[in-house]
Structures are given as C-alpha cells and as structure tokens.
Amino acid sequence: MMSEYVGNRQFVRVALSVLTDKSLIVTSSSVMSKALHAALFGFLGEKFKKTLIDPIDKPASLRKTYDRISSFLIGTFFNESSEEIARGCAISMKEILENVFPEFLD
C-alpha cells in the first residue's frame, strides 16, 4: 500500500504535517504512543528513501526535510525521561541515516 505513494511529494507533505503537529501529542499520551510516534519518521525514511522531500520548502531538499524532522524530535521528545521514547527517536534517526543519507555511512 505505501509503495504506491513513494515519490509522491504531496503524500510526504501530509505525512510530515500530521507527524509534526504538536497538538496531536497530548500530555496524557502514553509513553508507548509517543515512542511509536517518534519511530514513524524512521518508517517514512525507510519507505521513501531519497524521495523523502517536503515540498513546503523552497527550494525543497532532503536536508531541509531532515532538519524539520530532527528539530521536531528534539523539541518534542528529547526532554522525556523514557527509554522507550529515546529508542523511538534513535530508530528514526538510524533509519533516516541508513535510507535517506547512506553516503554518510561510507
């Protein structure tokens, strides 16, 4: 199902818009839901690879999209005192690095 959207920048825009909407993360959200939320960015990186480009930026680029994702993760989840949430953030960063920026691993 997801494969039909790979390369579709409008889908990337909608997915990132939803995932970076802080109003969706309420203080009563469970630790596990926050951890899964953080890990979803990595899922996008794994599926979209070099096409994980948010068209909202002018000019749009992988780097700007990554900056938006990392800023959100740092600003939203890094102050949480939970190993599960930290693991979700780490999974996302690892998946994005391996799939979106593999040249940095060489």
Structural domain tally of the chain?
A: 1
Q: Could you give the count of Cα atoms lying within 13 Å of 91 in the half-sphere of its Cβ?
A: 18
pLDDT at residue number 88: 96
Q: How confident is the model at residue 8 (pLDDT cuts 50, 70, 90)?
A: confident
pLDDT at residue number 20: 94
Q: Which two tokens stand for residue 43?
A: 């899922």
SS (H, E, C) the chain: CHHHHCCCHHHHHHHHHHHCCHHHCCCCCCHHHHHHHHHHHHHHHHHHHHHCCCCCCCCCCHHHHHHHHHHHHHHHHCCCCCHHHHHHHHHHHHHHHHHHCHHHHC
Q: What is the pTM of this model?
A: 0.89
pLDDT in tens, 33-92: 999 999 999 999 999 999 999 999 999 999 999 999 999 999 999 888 899 999 999 999
Residue-number span of the structural domain to which 100 is assigned: 2-105
Q: How far apart are CA 96 and CA 93, in angstroms?
A: 5
